Amino acid sequence: MDHVQGKNRNYPLNQSLEDLVTGDSFARIIDAFVASIDLSTFDFKYFDLNEEGRPPYHPSVLLKLYLYGYQHGIRSSRKLAQACAVNLEVMWLLECQQPCFKTISDFRKNNKEAFREVFRSFVLLLREWKLIGGKTITVDSFKIRAQNSLKNNYNGAKIERQQKYLLRKIAEYESALEAGEAEEAEIAEKIKDKQQKQEKYTRLAKELKRSEDGQLSTTDPDARAVVFQRNSVQVGYNIQAASDAKHKLLVAMDTGDVNDTKALSPMVVQVQGNINKKQFRLLADKGYHNGRELKASEALGVKTYVSPKASSSSKAKTAYAMDKFKYNKRNDTYSCPAGEVLRTNGNWYNKKPVGGRKSYQVKHYKTKSCRECPLKAACTKSKNGRTIERSEYQEYITDNNKRVNNDLGFYRQRQQLIEHQFGTLKRQRGFDHTLLGGKDKVLAEVSLSFICYNLSRTVSILNFSTLLRRLKSHIAEKWSIFVTAGPRACIANHF
């Protein structure tokens, strides 16, 4: 008995590329998907040809290449260029075209907004196919590393620490020079080096004052120091994502602050535009619990189910937390556990912002009976008695918290509706870091990743052959409109 034998390398293969790619290859889904969309409506570069010069690659070729790469965790332009020469599925997908790595890289860099529009178009198509219900949306975030090291990220404390160190070293060199302990030329060179670095940190300190969040990144100005798992701090992006509850398809994305506090209403706007629906229920964890954002979301017509966050009063070590005090809306008063009424003078006070948050207004509620109250020791340590602070957004916070507490079973769906997508993107496809710098370019990468996730998820929902058939039907419909009514009608129908 012998081992399995291979074919002679000089043996001619009488097979076409079509025969070498399996019928259920995901490359066929990508090919049909790109063919089903009208790329002329998305402002892709090099779609229109010049009269002179070398002809460019059609945007559909490079879009197919990127979708295949992001689906299989190949994102480097050089690795994608190599795949064009050695990967049979890529050769089939691109019909043996082999763009160089620079062309591949420039296409991603120059078409960042077009990728986002393709994602939005696909979401609308999924909505048209009734795969997106639009009744319940879940919002959450995940973090990816940026092309900016922690060494090149600065805050006030870091700059001040470096400046003090440099001043100390300069003083040491000058003392050594006066004592004659070293060569004058050598010391002068060291002092000059430290002074140049001091000038650098002085310049960074000025730039930092113009920063809204007290951070400065020199390699990628949009990147920020964010807290990853196990409290490790790295420079990266906090990617916001929204998922529809019906089939857990991704419907919107964004990136902004290092945390989720201000992200709720902007994500609501993104979702409403992408699924073309104004009203839905929104699930989110307590990181999104912010009175201003809850009010803004309700004003947009959305019912929020954001996990309640304990108030500062509730966090205090006291037997009588904030929720033990009952608010009387009609009289604008609070009743304490001892039966006393806490009243306000009607004045609004500005609450100082903490951690980059915006300021807001509060009312104070007090009673003169605190000093004689037998419960005072368990209620407050203040000599002047207990003060209840009511935010201008308290009504919206209370309504949200009631909705969550009255339907905990509904809220507990949140994790299963949104978090597994992040595991797929980061662990299976390697999307735990960005290759590009700048918010717009990073969102272009996110768009490509989300398109691929939705495509593979739709395969699971409909099965391979059904999705392929629907995409091909969409191609036929598109060209039917084009032939009968002209290109303008085709574009109008697409939207």
> DSSP characters for 96-148?
T----HHHHHHHHHH-HHHHHHHHHHHHHHHHHTT----SEEEEEEEEEE-SS
Full-model pTM: 0.88
From the list 47, 36, 14, 31, the residue with the least C-alpha distance to 128 is: 36
Question: Do residues 482 and 490 make contact, with C-beta atoms less than 8 angstroms apart?
Answer: yes
Residues 306, 285 contacting (CB under 8 angstroms): yes
Residue environment code for 156-177, b if the CB has 16+ CB neighbours within 10 A, otherwise e: eebbeebbeebeebbeebeeeb
Q: What is the largest CA-CA distance in the chain?
A: 101
Rounded to whole angstroms, how far apart are CA atoms 447 and 450? 5
Superfamily of domain 136-146+223-309+407-428: Ribonuclease H-like superfamily/Ribonuclease H (3.30.420.10)
CA dist., res. 428 & res. 426, Å (int): 6
pLDDT one digit per residue (tens) for the chain, 495 residues: 789 988 888 888 888 999 999 999 999 999 999 999 988 889 888 776 666 667 889 999 999 999 999 999 999 999 999 999 999 999 999 999 999 999 999 999 999 999 999 999 999 999 999 999 999 999 999 999 999 999 999 999 999 999 999 999 999 888 887 777 667 788 888 889 999 999 999 999 999 988 888 899 999 999 999 998 878 899 999 999 999 999 999 999 999 888 899 999 999 999 999 999 999 999 999 999 999 999 999 999 999 999 998 765 545 556 678 878 888 888 899 998 888 888 998 898 888 766 556 778 899 998 888 878 888 888 888 888 888 889 889 999 999 999 999 999 999 999 999 999 999 999 999 999 999 999 999 999 999 999 999 999 999 999 999 999 999 988 877 655 444 544 444 434 433
SS3 236: strand
Strand ranges (DSSP E) for 214-278? 216-217, 224-227, 233-244, 250-255
- For residue 305, list its beta bridge partners: 283
Provide the 10 A C-beta neighbour count for residue 403: 16
Distance CA 363, CA 348 (A): 5
**What is the per-residue pLDDT across 397-445, written as a single tens digit (0 to 9) for each?**
999 999 999 999 999 999 999 999 999 999 999 999 999 999 999 999 9
Q: Which token pair is 392? A: 């201008």
Phi and psi, residue 305, nearest 5°: -130, 75
pLDDT digits (tens, 9 = 90+) for 245-303: 999 999 999 998 888 999 999 999 999 999 999 999 999 999 999 999 999 999 999 99
Distance CA(92)–CA(61), nearest Å, equals 11
List of residues 6+ apart from 210 with CB closer than 8 A: none
As given in the structure block, the two tokens for residue 207 are: 């730039």
Q: Which amino acid is at 329?
A: K
